Structure 1
Amino acid sequence: MIGVILAAGMGTRLMPLTKDIPKPLLKINEMTLLERMIKNCMNVGIEKFIVVVGYNREKVIDLCPELEEKYDIEIKAIANEKYDETNTSVSTYLASRFIEENDLDDFILINGDNVIDPLMIERLYASKNTGMIIDNFKELNEESFKLIIDDESLNEDKSIANGKIHSIGKELDIPSSSGEFIGVSKVKMDDVAQFNRILEGLIEENPQNYYDFAYKDLSVIKTIDFVLSNGLKWTEIDDHIDWENAQRLVDEFEN
């Protein structure tokens, strides 16, 4: 298993915190978001990582050897040269294409501005199929990246749902939505080629597309596990309110 962490974005809504560094290098309790997420992945045995860099890339690249030595892991940095003109579909494709071309392994894909309960990574890792972590508890709003699952069915312990994605995006009707995609997912190696072909179509349509949309088409031809949060906490860090929430969550996780 490989950990892929997206760290290319500019984080403009967090200025001035991100004036000189990308969001994944922000620190909570003296540890960067990037290092914290790497440690979460190491808890399930992941030792190889790909970090997609862009904005202030040199600072991320300079940190990688330190983390490699500290944790005895491997980190490959891949640059999204057009980070300021594209979105996560391109950053994801750069890593996923590298994995396909080199016939590597399944990978867990993580937005680099996330703080999550480490148990979520464990549940996703243990799932059998390509999967997405879905928050089925949080109160949804207009900014939530919502999805509607057709023919939804639950496993015995009600931790994983299966079905096809009918719709995905922020604009979906809240009462009809099944939950929110939290930006942490897994792609099995058997599905990487199809995933990449779908990403290529999204990028051709609009380089500003999110990779999240690729799972909708993939769910039609492959089984996707929707790993439910069932109350486990997380936050993405888009703005200063999120940043304050992230700091509270880290304190909660650590204590």
Structure 2
Amino acid sequence: MIGVILSAGMGTRLMPLTKDIPKPLLEINGMTLLERMIKNLMKTDIEDFILIVGYNKEKVIDLAPKLEEKYSINIKILENEKYDVTNTSVSTYIASKYIEDNQKDDFILVNGDNVVDPEIITRIGERKNTSLIVDNFKDLNEESFKLIIADETFNDDKTIASGTIAEIGKGIDIASSTGEFIGVSKVSAKDITRFNEILEDLMDEDKQNYYDFAYKPLSLESPIDFVLTNGLKWTEIDDHNDWQQAQKLINEFEN
């Protein structure tokens, strides 16, 4: 299994914190978000990583060999050269196509600005199918990347749901939503080729599309597991309020 961390974005809403570094290199308690996520992914026995870089790429490129030596892991750096005019569908495709062409394997895909309870990564690492982490606990708002699961069924302990994605995106009805996709997912090796074909369609439609939309058509063709947080905490760091929340969560996780 491979860990893919998207690290190309500019983080404009976090200025001036991100004036000279990409978001994943922001530090909390002396450790970058990137290193902390790598440590979390290593708990699922991942040793091979792909980092998609763009904004201030040299900072990530310089750090990668130090992380390889520190943790005895392998890091492949791939660049989204058009990071400033594209979105996550392009960055994800760069990594996923590389995996398809070279070492076709399951991969866990995470946004580089995520701070999550390590148990979230452990739970998705255990799944065999393509899987998404869905927060079914916290209150949703207009900015939440919501989804509606159709034909929903649950396992015995109500931690895993299955079904198809009827709708996904920020603009869908809050009351009808199953929860929020948190930007942590797993793509099974058997689904990679089709996943990439769908990403190609999304990029042809709009280079600013999110990779998240690829899971809707994929769910109609291949089984997807929806791993529920059931109260496990996380945050995506988009702005300064999120940054303060991330610091609180890290202190909570470490204590």
Residue in 1 that maps onto 2:175: 175
**How do 1:20-99 residues align onto structure 2 when only pairs under 5 Å count?**
20-99=20-99
List alignment gaps of at least 5 residues for structure 1.
none
Match of 1:10 in 2: 10
Alpha-carbon deviations, 1:213-254, whole Å to 9, x = none?
Answer: 000010000000000000000000000000000000000000
How far does the alpha carbon of each residue in 1:92-141 deviate from its partner, in whole angstroms, 9 at most, with x for none? 00000000011331000000000000000110011121000000001000
Identity %: 71
SS in 1 for 2:220: helix
Equivalent residue number for residue 241 of structure 2: 241
Provide the residue aligned with 1:215 in structure 2.
215
Matches within 5 A, 1:149-160: 149-160=149-160
Q: Provide the rounded CA distance (Å) in 1 between the counterparts of 2:165 and 2:54.
A: 30
Q: Distance in 1 between matches of 2:211 and 2:104?
A: 20
**Paired residue type of 1:233:** K
What is the TM-score when the length of structure 1 is the normalising length? 0.99
CA distance in 2, matches of 1:20, 1:122: 32
Matched residue type, 1:97: K
Task: Say whether residues 1:197 and 2:197 are aligned partners.
Answer: yes
Q: Secondary structure at the match of 2:45?
A: coil
> What's the offset of the Cα at 1:8?
0.2
- What is the alpha-carbon distance in structure 2 between the residues aligned to residue 251 and residue 144 of structure 1? 24
Deviation string 1:38-73 (CA, Å, 9 cap, x unpaired) is 000011111000000000000001000000000000
Give, in whole Å, the separation in 1 of the partners of 2:59 and 2:45.
26
After the TM superposition, which parts of structure 1 deviate over 2 Å for at least 4 consecutive aligned residues?
Answer: none
Q: Note the residue ranges of structure 2 that are not aligned, 5 or more in a row.
A: none
Work out the number of aligned pairs and report it. 255
How far apart, in 2, do the equivalents of 1:104 and 1:218 lie? Answer: 18
Cα distance between partner residues in 2 of 1:78 and 1:126: 26
CA distance in 2, matches of 1:70, 1:123: 25
Q: 3-state DSSP class of the match of 2:166?
A: strand
Compute the RMSD of aligned alpha carbons.
0.4
Shift of 1:180: 0.1
Q: Which residue identity does 2:9 align to in structure 1?
A: G
How far apart, CA to CA, are the structure 2 residues paired with 1:77 and 1:184?
20
Residue 250 of structure 1 aligns with which residue?
Answer: 250
Q: What is the TM-score of this pair, normalised by structure 2?
A: 0.99
Superposed displacement of residue 154, structure 1: 0.4
1:127 and 1:103 map into 2 onto residues whose CA distance is: 19
